[in-house]
Amino acid sequence: MSYYDEEGDHQMEVWLDQYLENELERLSKEAAFNFLAHNGDAIEARVRQCLADANALRDIGFAAASLVSAVVGIEVTIRFFLLQPLLQGAFLSREWAALLTQRIIRPRSAEDRDLLPAILRNWGVDITRFTLPSGEQL
């Protein structure tokens, strides 16, 4: 094999590597964009409603409920405007992305339930003392 053949093979390998990298990046961005294009408006509406509720509750003197509503808005933003699109882009298969998202989000919900009371305690609110009309702890 001559020098020119080796150089040509090397250039072809470099080009192919670059092409594959560019295509994977394009597909990743496309997957994230498609997720946001199909779900972004609904997610944004949910976040805006949480913030509007938080402001309304604050204005009428329910600071603790206002904080809870604001935290829910933050959680929705992180999970569905950040985590889900990133996973859609990282895994080119919708099935894999959905499976991984569920594995990440669902188990953490139980942990999240422990976080909110801890956060509220810092504001002097003990949410565990509240009960529902059925008698169950809130």
DSSP annotation string for 6-51: HHHHHHHHHHHHHHHHHHHHHHHHHHHHHHHHHHHHHHHHHHHHHH
Q: Residue 86 in contact with residue 32, Cβ under 8 Å?
A: yes
Strand pairing partners for 137?
Answer: 131
pLDDT band at residue 56 under the 50/70/90 scheme: very high
**Statement: residue 1 has pLDDT above 70:** no
DSSP label of 92? S
More confident: 129 or 59: 59
Residue whose tokens read 């913030």: 51
CA 129 – CA 138 distance, rounded (Å):
8
Per residue in 20-50, pLDDT (tens digit) is 777 767 777 787 778 788 888 999 999 999 9
CA 13 – CA 101 distance, rounded (Å):
35
- Model pLDDT, residue 44: 93
CA 90 – CA 76 distance, rounded (Å):
20
